[in-house]
């Protein structure tokens, strides 16, 4: 192919030069072809990219189509129920609720409802009245001096740095209007977080915003920032679902001078937060550190966030809580399906326990050790729809955090470029030109509407199941497709266990459709 390019390209350039001599109007075409020919000569001589070396100009099409591959998948290939990590149907309902427009569908479900992976709700023939007031719950145990009344649905941890300044401002202003909290992420508190909305200040292994020059936890800096009136709770991040056991990643291109100043770092360097905390190294020290943070914050609710891995380590935490009689005000459980702006593929795909079994395990473990009533359980991990919100509560959670749901409300199109600084919607980028495209006054209202409409949809589902309040939620509301694996379960759901004997008397059949006798 290289030789063919040289032969055809050289001949074409020579012919165009000759024709241009007689027809000067061809000069621009000649210049373009000559430039492409020179680019091809360069690619033949370079040794880094084999595709470009073998296909000197055509090779660029490979990189172009690879660049737009996510868009091609979304717009031309995937079905409504396809799309990873968020399928099109869920993205669509998030967009519709954020825009406050009708979020109905036509012609019935597109799901395989007889598949064993199907999940649904058991409705009641006696629906309950729909509650109009959005649900709230108080977070803060006996050792907390400043309990906080939280919405049941809130913005999960996303740092300034991972997200643009306009995205952070829109999220916070939306939280202000809707009276729900905005988790800062481990990147610290920026001026864009301080728009009036309630904050949960997340402290990660880098201690951004409360670290000394050597990267150690600084109690005085923490005390000063925790005293901010916007900070309602403090969350100590042990791990997150998308990259458990791995520190946060901020690409160098996103680590601007402003962000470096907020975090106490050198600008334009890749930021890899430590994998472990320096302030503690075992369960006893961790629980004591929780108590220290609560004291330094003036008694504000303090908890920790983790993705479950080794279950014995969480059991040890429960035992140490009872031994020291120090209890967090909340625990946030993140599932392995949680999202992130940047993570190694192996960590996202192969590390951590999914949210459903993790939430059940944590809830039951806290119950076993008599701790559950002392704290609130928060969860996160790909929760966007009202049905997934209710399911999380039925598994034991008191509060749900969503990150990607609120990103979609900002206009995220799942372009999968969060780690490149090229987010086309201005959500996950530090490119000022791209970020400027996100209009705060418009998007803040979409954040508010997504929150309000999702909770309202959840209350409609709750009422359809005959439940009068969120305190009545239980797993008996839900069913799975594997319950339908036997034909008898399809026609007699929930009741077969009440019968000790089922007998069909064929003599009673008079015509097709008559029911058999059940004795």
The CB density around residue 256, as the number of other CB atoms within 10 Å, is 16
Residue 449 host element (H or E):
helix 440-464
Looking at the DSSP bridge assignments, the partners of residue 426 are none
Instruction: Please give the C-alpha separations between residue 112 and each of 74, 83, 104, 150, 285, in angstroms, as whole numbers.
Output: 21, 16, 19, 36, 49
pTM: predicted TM-score of the whole model, two decimal places: 0.81
Whole-number Å distance between alpha carbons of 244 and 239? 5
Tokens (6 digits) for 214: 């050597």
Contact between 355 and 171 (Cβ < 8 Å): no
Q: Give burial (CB, 10 Å; 0-12/13-18/19+) of 416.
A: middle
pLDDT in tens, the chain (519 residues): 777 877 787 888 888 888 888 888 888 888 888 888 888 888 888 878 888 878 888 888 877 877 777 777 777 777 766 777 888 888 889 999 999 998 777 787 877 777 777 888 899 999 999 988 899 999 999 999 999 999 999 999 999 988 999 999 999 999 999 999 999 999 899 999 999 999 999 999 989 989 888 889 999 999 999 999 999 999 999 988 777 777 667 778 778 888 888 887 788 888 777 878 999 999 999 999 999 999 999 999 999 999 999 999 999 999 999 999 999 999 999 988 877 776 777 777 777 888 999 999 999 999 999 999 999 999 998 999 999 999 999 999 999 999 999 999 999 888 888 888 888 899 999 889 999 999 999 999 999 999 999 999 999 999 999 999 998 998 888 887 666 555 444 444 454 454 444 444 444 433 434 444 443
pLDDT value of residue 173: 98
What are the beta bridge partners of residue 181?
A: 198
Q: What is the pLDDT at residue 484?
A: 57
């Amino acid at each position: 192919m290289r030789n063919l390019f040289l032969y055809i390209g050289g001949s074409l350039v020579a012919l165009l030069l000759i024709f241009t001599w007689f027809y000067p109007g061809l000069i621009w075409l000649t210049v373009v072809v000559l430039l492409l020919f020179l680019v091809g000569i360069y690619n033949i001589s370079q040794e880094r990219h084999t595709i470009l070396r073998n296909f000197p100009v055509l090779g660029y099409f490979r990189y172009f189509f690879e660049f737009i591959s996510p868009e091609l998948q979304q717009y031309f290939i995937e079905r409504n129920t396809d799309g990873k990590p968020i399928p099109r149907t869920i993205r669509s309902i998030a967009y519709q609720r954020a825009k406050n427009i009708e979020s109905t569908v036509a012609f019935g479900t597109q799901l395989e409802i007889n598949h064993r992976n199907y999940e649904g709700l058991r409705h009641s023939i006696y629906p309950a009245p729909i509650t109009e007031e959005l649900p709230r719950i108080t977070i803060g145990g006996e050792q907390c001096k400043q309990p906080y009344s939280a919405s049941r649905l809130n913005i999960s941890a996303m740092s300034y740095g991972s997200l643009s300044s306009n995205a952070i401002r829109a999220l916070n202003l939306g939280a202000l209007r809707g009276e729900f909290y905005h988790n800062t992420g481990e990147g610290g508190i920026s001026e864009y977080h301080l728009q009036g909305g309630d904050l949960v200040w997340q402290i990660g292994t880098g201690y951004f915003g409360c670290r000394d020059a050597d990267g150690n936890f600084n109690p005085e800096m923490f005390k000063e920032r925790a005293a901010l009136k916007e900070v309602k709770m403090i969350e100590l991040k042990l791990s997150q679902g998308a990259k458990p056991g791995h520190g946060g990643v901020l690409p160098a291109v996103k680590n601007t001078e402003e962000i470096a100043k907020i975090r106490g770092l050198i600008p334009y360097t890749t930021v890899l937060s430590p994998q472990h905390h320096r302030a503690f190294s075992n369960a006893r020290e961790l629980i004591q550190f929780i108590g220290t943070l609560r004291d330094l914050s003036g008694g504000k609710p303090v908890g920790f966030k983790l993705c479950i891995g080794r279950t014995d380590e969480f059991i040890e935490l429960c035992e140490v809580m009872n031994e020291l009689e120090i209890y967090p005000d909340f625990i946030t459980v993140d599932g392995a399906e949680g999202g992130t702006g940047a993570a190694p593929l192996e960590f996202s795909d192969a590390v951590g326990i999914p949210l459903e079994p993790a939430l059940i395990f944590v809830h039951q473990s806290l119950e076993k050790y008599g701790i559950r009533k002392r704290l609130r359980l928060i969860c996160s991990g790909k929760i966007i729809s009202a049905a997934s919100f209710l399911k999380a509560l039925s598994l034991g959670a008191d509060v749900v955090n969503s990150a990607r749901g609120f990103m979609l409300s900002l206009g995220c199109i799942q372009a999968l470029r969060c780690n490149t600084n090229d987010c086309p919607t201005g959500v996950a980028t530090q490119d000022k030109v791209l970020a400027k495209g996100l209009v705060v006054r418009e998007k803040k209202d979409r954040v508010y509407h997504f929150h309000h409409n999702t909770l309202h949809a959840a209350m409609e589902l709750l009422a359809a199941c005959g439940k009068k309040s969120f305190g009545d939620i239980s797993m008996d509301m839900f069913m799975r497709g594997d319950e339908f694996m036997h034909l008898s379960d399809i026609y007699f759901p929930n009741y077969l266990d009440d019968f000790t004997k089922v007998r069909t008397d064929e003599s009673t059949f008079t015509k097709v459709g008559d029911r058999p006798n059940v004795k």
